[in-house]
Structure 1
């Protein structure tokens, strides 16, 4: 009787251990969760679209080891905090918040979830579990400014700007730097639309500028509406964030493409390995995070060739668009001759350089 009782106890213990081992195995095989928050729709063909392409690249790279979740069309404000917090509660170990206006909500939620790693795009607030990252879009904008300087016939260049934050201001300035060097007669006209994604507003801004004689349009907004408007009216445009050539085959001069895949994959791997360290990461042409896939048919071969030379010089470090002397609109030297602006200085840029027409909205 005693032997049978011991056998039953041993059998029960073995079963319990088996269940525990099975549960442990299941837990060990559970996918690593990663969340993404987008300010626009993933179909914007711009900023949010390119971030979502990095999410898909992450899934492809890690396979079943990673499970991703995204929330699109999230307003920059209180609603963003709710969305970010919900992603943390869902068990996401890494959360990418991909727009400047998500900065304060991200910082607040990061403090509440110290075991979750947060990455915020284009911001400046960092803590142990909150890092920041940005692409050097100004490198691509400088190349676009050079191409615009050489292609324009009216010497009027238009720029559709979203919000007056350093990221947008420095890209406008990068275009002007190229115009100053390659076509000082060209004028850069800036229209602020106060949105990241609104095809109607973007198209209206593009048409208004073309009505005023602008024949090349650049943008820091995310829909292809400006490219489409330029195509309809026989003008030229530069794509934003993704390759927008299909939206204006004749109008398309080039696109400044963001590729976040490398950064996203390496960041998640670092967190998995326990190697993550908060920092302010800047990635550009050298890291292949800023790309110019091709030039449109309206770009002369000689212009395209020199544009590629500029790109090569940025990649090998022999040229930095923000190298002095640089003056502000009043003519005051803000960057001395031969000095390169630091990331910290670029991140705080709040003034137009010499040549930009207009003032920065308050």
Structure 2
């Protein structure tokens, strides 16, 4: 009874003390919702409270304290956003930690690229003087990306060497001003086809660029995979404004139309791929592991190990006595297990089986 009462007392004490605590900078951490932002994006921040610092004081009036944040370019002291007041719901004097991200600063379109740092401070609401400061509580990177490649679509997923590869590329202007003279290229590692020599995009607008022959499927000796890149250059063809990659496609030599292992990226194993489920041969399949790893007494028939959904699966095996002495009263039981090891079915095939050395049965 005494122990239970003590637990209740401790909990109540903690709840009563929490609203009146003023946390020091050592008890706060801040994190932004992203590590990097394009200019024009909204930076959002979340305040995380950890254990209070040793010797943290208590304030008689926690509502008189205000948590503020400022943003400055790394290495500089002058803020680009100063004294941003954070809502009372995440004040260090509050009872519960905040899990919500709050708007901190929208990066101007003309902002410098590079790293920015966030400073925190707690000020007295009456004197407006800082009670404490926490420099470099968080940081983020601003970059400038003008063009976004939203989507790359290819006509199909399987090609034969020499086939034309048709494509559709959707591009979007992320800036607040028009862009003109953009060059859009569709390429393999060594060859490039120009999809548009002088593309114009309105501010914030998007366009689709289509080509019936953006590339030609490579001449391959065996089925393999391929991928294409879309590159957007500026008017002077000096700077890459955007780059993205197409979905992976499969290229087969002429006359090859049956499923075969395709060569994956370097260092990866061969892949068995099929155009659709109907093309999979479920009557026979490859051996999954070497025969020498099988039990000398139990041998499974690996001629049919893949079954279509909804069909009846039959597993065949043989049982042989590999020893030099006879077996008497052997019990044979089978169990069907799920991938998680849960037993789905259990069947006893024989309660008392006798087998002479070298003899066996099939089930």
TM-score range, shorter chain: under 0.3
User: Greater relative contact order (Cα 8 A, min sep 6): structure 1 or 2?
Assistant: 1
Higher alpha-carbon Rg: 2
Return the structure number with greater strand share.
Answer: 2
User: What TM-score, normalized by structure 1, do the two folds share?
Assistant: 0.19
User: What TM-score, normalized by structure 2, do the two folds share?
Assistant: 0.19
Return the structure number with greater helix share.
Answer: 1
